[in-house]
Amino acid sequence: MKVLVADKFAMEGLRVFENADGIELDYQPGLSDAELLEKVADAEALVVRGGTRVSAEVIDAAKKLKVVGRAGISVENMDLEAANRKGIVVMNTPFGSTTTAAEHTIAMLMALARMIPAASQSTKSGLWEKEKYLGVEINGKTLGVIGAGKIGRLVGDLAIGLKMRVIVFDPYVSEETVRQMGAEQVGLDQLLAESDFITFHVPLNAETRHLLNAESLQQVKPGCRIVNCAMGGLIDETALAAAIKSGHIAGAALDVFAQEPPQKDHPLWSLDEVICTPHLRAATIDAQINVTVQIARQVIDFLQNGVIVNALNVPSISADLLDEMRPYIDLAEKLGSFQAQLFAKGMEKVTVEYAGEVTRHPVDQLTMAVLKGLLTPVHGSMVNYVNAPHLAKESGIEVVEARSSVAGGFSSQIRLTVTGAEGEHSVAGAMFGTDDYRIVGIDQHHVETVPEGHILVIRNEDKPGVIATLGQVLSEAGLNIAMMNLSRRKIQGRAFSLINVDSEIPEDVLETLRGKEFILSAVQVSL
């Protein structure tokens, strides 16, 4: 079986392929787009890092492809939808560089506190400016950690070892989990106001984009130093540059940027108070070896034994069972993702109820899919079907499964209930035929919508004019309605409206809707 490795790979990882029975290694780093299409045509496996884009065109050209392996965490270079359409398994290595990323964060923090890069450059130029580069101690200072995932927790642990006070903002992690870290859970406003250093460890999504912007920077404690080794786009870089120039922010250390590489006239480049590295968070010899060896073993185990490990688009089940279970897996994951974007703050308990024909299948694999959908908006691309239950446990979330032979008029139904800071809320999905599934319930409301694309979820008072107002606001924004479903439990009570639209809804349109007197909430869910 041919394995095409299309990016530079550690020798240790290549040896794993070379020593495997029945595996033909084709090591071709640096292929052009045309060469990749030619080489992948007869490959059973394609292994890449971040330098090769696995596009829909590549997927279509790969006539024999069974698995794509990504040595690393991020999968922005993968077209997962194209892989799903062809039933190709996509794997990554979510924990191979956790330690490296955390250590790079601490290294950036230390360098920022003592202005090491600028002092080094000055000294090498022949100057001896001891008084100019007067740093600060980190002992006793407060570190604000935004995001308490695997890397965020490790950064907090290292900082506590350096005698820092660690405070954490993560609305998706329980207070008990943060307490076990030896840290203190706080709100975002408190973190901004009290932190001497702030570090980011969250995925980039609609909720976190420009989390630190011109407005929130004004809330930050004067003299604070900012570190971002997580994702570009979490910080408004222009606003950060202005805050540093004004003296409100003492400095920043950035490993990631909204555009990579950034433009040569980037506003942060001219500031001595800013340290920049070229996305080095996973760039250690140890991490490079770890992720290449790990992905090589995963790909070989799949090709030889049909075992799926750390997959992004399927749980760890046999390849034979995968085709039959895929519609249920997709529904389960979308229910989790839908719920995560509506009611997932401070999750304490997750209950998944299976009813009807779905109970003939191993539902623990479906629960993995639910948890992956539920936790991906929280933890980002590191979440897969295998580690999702572990991440839920680490976050202090109780997971309960229940089965029933009666599916409420459907052949199969899955109901997901989340209990947390926003109370108890549920969403239900059902199968219509062999591969058609829909969302059929939210809390106690009967609804019906296809869980695809962009869905506007409205909670509103049941009054005349709601539909007309929704249509007018969306029409004026140039948004086409593909499907609309409304549900109420009693006249003049409260209702749910689910509206599928053809394109993403801008935030200002959502704000316009939220400003209407009879609309209680307006949330965009993207699936």
- Tell me the sheet residues that pair with 496: 459, 487
Average pLDDT (441-451) is: 89
- Could you tell me which residue, 416 or 314, shows the higher pLDDT? 416
Does the residue 34 lie in any domain? yes
pLDDT cut 70: percent of the chain above it: 98
Interval 86-110: pLDDT, tens = 878 899 987 778 899 999 999 999 9
What phi and psi, each to the nearest 5 degrees, are found at residue 424? Answer: -110, 125
- For residue 63, the tally of other CB atoms under 10 A from its CB is 10
To the query of whether residue 201 is one of the catalytic residues in this protein, the response is no
**Closest alpha carbon to 356 in 370, 366, 346:** 366
Whether the Cβ atoms of residue 445 and residue 485 lie closer than 8 Å to each other: no
Whether residue 218 sits in one domain with residue 80? no
Sheet of 437-442, strands arranged across: 398-404, 349-356, 412-420, 423-431, 437-442, 445-449
Count up the domains in the chain and report the number: 2
Does the residue 111 lie in any domain? yes
pLDDT cut 90: percent of the chain above it: 61
Peptide bond into 261 cis (omega under 30): yes
What pLDDT is attached to residue 18? 95
Does the residue 413 lie in any domain? no
- For residue 176, the tally of other CB atoms under 10 A from its CB is 11
Whether residue 111 sits in one domain with residue 91? no
CA 361 vs. chain centroid, Å, equals 28
Whether the Cβ atoms of residue 296 and residue 110 lie closer than 8 Å to each other: no
Banded pLDDT at 361 (limits 50, 70, 90): confident
CA 369 vs. chain centroid, Å, equals 15
Mean pLDDT score of the chain, rounded to an integer?
Answer: 90
Instruction: Find the domain containing 80 and state its range.
Output: 1-95+282-313
Out of 184, 194, 210, 279, the active site residue is 279
Whether residue 229 sits in one domain with residue 104? yes
Whether residue 91 sits in one domain with residue 102? no
Whether residue 176 sits in one domain with residue 249? yes
Q: Domain of 73: which CATH number?
A: 3.40.50.720
Whether residue 267 sits in one domain with residue 145? yes
- For residue 201, the tally of other CB atoms under 10 A from its CB is 29
To the query of whether residue 454 is one of the catalytic residues in this protein, the response is no
**Highest mean pLDDT pick, 184-188, 359-363, 368-372:** 184-188
Does the residue 16 lie in any domain? yes
Whether residue 141 sits in one domain with residue 234? yes
Whether residue 188 sits in one domain with residue 107? yes
Residues composing the chain: 527
What pLDDT is attached to residue 367? 92
Whether residue 262 sits in one domain with residue 141? yes
**Closest alpha carbon to 74 in 107, 48, 100, 46:** 48
- Where is the domain boundary, 257, 276, 295? 276
Interval 193-241: pLDDT, tens = 999 999 999 988 878 899 999 999 999 999 999 999 999 999 999 999 9
What pLDDT is attached to residue 27? 96
Does the residue 457 lie in any domain? no
Whether residue 109 sits in one domain with residue 43? no
